[in-house]
């Protein structure tokens, strides 16, 4: 099939490359000339394992191209996929300016029947509104489809080529059949539903996963007070098929481009129809507070005297295997430390430049290696679970630090890793592993 993907952000670029890998002829379009020139030169503007190799392969095979010429791309294609950004506005609602403009541009370029599929995460009812917007500006026939994405940064190629399911929202049976044919090589788990339900499936899925994360973090906080181990609790829960193992890893909360944006947007969507989504509001509140457990533990260790201390930070991306720092817990943690007179040294294997661009370059000492970051530091905070950090020799790490204090915000290290070290150690929801940290575990009264 001939496909145009509009938007070369995370979703658009990964989707375009993978559709080409399936044997389709794909044109990826973006208004950002600099980004297109980068892609045409064989470089990938985002970090995603395996993406460059697949892009190079399909460009060489003539199945993948990049352009700023939306009109020509639309005219050459049968299927148009919108994957432009819908960033959050201050109210929490999705900003629809980019998708509206893309729809207008498509309408101007139409030269025959097209299937227009919205892959961007959009509020319920958006597909109908976009359909009407295009219909009033062209006499050419078309069908509109909701095609929500379910990619995880860091494993997006795998998620695209081996999805749990494909969701297609359509009013036209023939258009739905075409989209099923396009995606049939990927999985037999293809759900065809009405458009509004497809739009809601995306928000509901992300909201539920965010809820699991906040839930296990709340359980972790209770575990710290009662002397239980959250990793064992999560394991025991996960064997229940109704619950499952995924998204039950306690830590300092979720971040990134999807969960924070989509949870806030769904709260706003509910509010627009006079419904208060109390559960999801609590999920967001728990997640926001969870990252500050790192600060609270530092303040406990140093008796509230953080000013003048040197704190090393390992990990700036919101998760490993990505350079995405949007809504990363590191942003607020570092900002708090700097504002309270702490000398902060920071390092991330991939996300340094993106973090500098979002946070700013002032007030932080940027380091090029993990051990250099920890050198002469009073404490180390591990905020992203990169493999590089998990493989560090803790005895060597202890030897370079001014004080051997380790705040493990992602439960990277196990009890055997800590044996033979003198670290003051704090993890999340594993009080039996904590060393040198004052604990108040009550005696349970029968």
Return binding residues.
30, 35, 86, 121, 150-153, 202, 247-251, 255, 261, 319, 326
- The Cα 194–Cα 190 span in angstroms is 13
Which has the closest alpha carbon to 306: 207, 426, 405, 196? Answer: 405
Strand, helix or coil at 391? coil
Strand, helix or coil at 313? strand
Q: Contact at 8 Å (CB) between 420 and 398?
A: no
Q: Contact at 8 Å (CB) between 365 and 297?
A: no
Q: Which residues pair with 146 in a beta bridge?
A: 118, 169
Which has the closest alpha carbon to 332: 359, 354, 303? Answer: 359
Positions annotated as catalytic residues are 258
Consecutive H or E run containing 237: helix 230-238
What residues contact 362, with CB distance under 8 A and at least 6 apart? none
Which has the closest alpha carbon to 327: 252, 270, 394, 244? Answer: 252
In eight-state DSSP terms, residue 90 is T
Which has the closest alpha carbon to 89: 292, 317, 269? Answer: 269
Return binding residues for NAD(+).
30, 35, 86, 121, 153, 261, 326
- The Cα 263–Cα 261 span in angstroms is 6
Backbone angles phi, psi at 142, to 5 degrees: -165, 160
Report the alpha-carbon angle 149-135-78, nearest 5: 55
Q: How far is CA 384 from the centre of its chain?
A: 13
């Amino acid at each position: 099939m001939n496909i145009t993907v509009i938007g070369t952000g995370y979703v658009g670029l990964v989707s375009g490359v993978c559709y080409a890998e399936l044997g389709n002829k794909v044109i990826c379009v973006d208004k950002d000339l600099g980004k297109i020139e980068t892609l045409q030169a064989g470089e990938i503007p985002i970090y995603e394992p395996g993406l460059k190799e697949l892009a190079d392969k399909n460009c060489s095979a003539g199945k993948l191209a990049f352009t700023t010429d939306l009109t020509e791309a639309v005219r050459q294609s049968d299927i148009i996929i919108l994957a432009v950004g819908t960033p959050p506005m201050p109210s929490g609602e999705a900003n629809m300016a980019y998708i509206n403009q893309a729809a207008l541009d498509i309408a101007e370029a139409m030269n025959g029947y097209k299937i227009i599929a919205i892959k961007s995460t959009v509020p319920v009812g958006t597909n109908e509104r976009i359909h009407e917007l295009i219909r009033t500006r062209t006499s050419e026939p078309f069908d509109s489809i909701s095609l929500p994405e379910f990619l995880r940064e860091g494993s997006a190629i795998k998620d695209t080529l081996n999805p749990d399911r494909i969701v297609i929202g359509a009013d036209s049976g023939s258009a739905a059949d075409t989209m099923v044919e396009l995606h049939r090589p990927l999985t037999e788990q293809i759900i065809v539903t009405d458009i509004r339900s497809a739009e809601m499936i995306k928000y509901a899925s992300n909201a539920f996963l965010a809820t699991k994360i906040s839930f296990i973090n709340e359980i972790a906080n209770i575990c710290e007070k009662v002397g239980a181990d959250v990793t064992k609790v999560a394991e025991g829960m996960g064997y229940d098929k109704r619950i499952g193992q995924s998204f039950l890893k306690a830590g300092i909360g979720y971040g990134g481009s999807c969960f924070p944006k989509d949870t806030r947007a769904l709260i706003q969507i509910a509010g627009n129809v006079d419904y208060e989504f109390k559960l999801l509001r609590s999920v967001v509140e728990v997640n926001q507070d969870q990252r500050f457990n790192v600060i609270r533990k530092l303040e406990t260790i140093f008796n509230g005297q953080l000013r003048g201390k040197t704190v090393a930070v390992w990990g700036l991306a919101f998760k490993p295997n990505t350079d995405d720092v949007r809504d990363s817990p590191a942003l607020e943690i570092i900002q708090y430390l700097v504002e309270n007179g702490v000398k902060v040294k920071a390092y991330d294997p991939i996300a340094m430049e993106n973090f500098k661009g979002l946070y700013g370059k002032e007030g932080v000492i940027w380091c090029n290696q993990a051990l250099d970051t920890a050198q002469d530091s009073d404490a180390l905070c591990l905020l992203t679970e990169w493999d590089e950090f998990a493989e560090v020799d803790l005895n060597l790490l202890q030897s370079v630090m001014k004080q051997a204090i380790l705040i493990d915000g992602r439960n990277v290290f196990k009890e055997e890793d800590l044996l033979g070290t003198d670290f003051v150690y704090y993890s999340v929801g594993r009080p039996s592993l904590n060393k040198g940290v004052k604990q108040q575990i009550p005696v349970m009264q029968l």
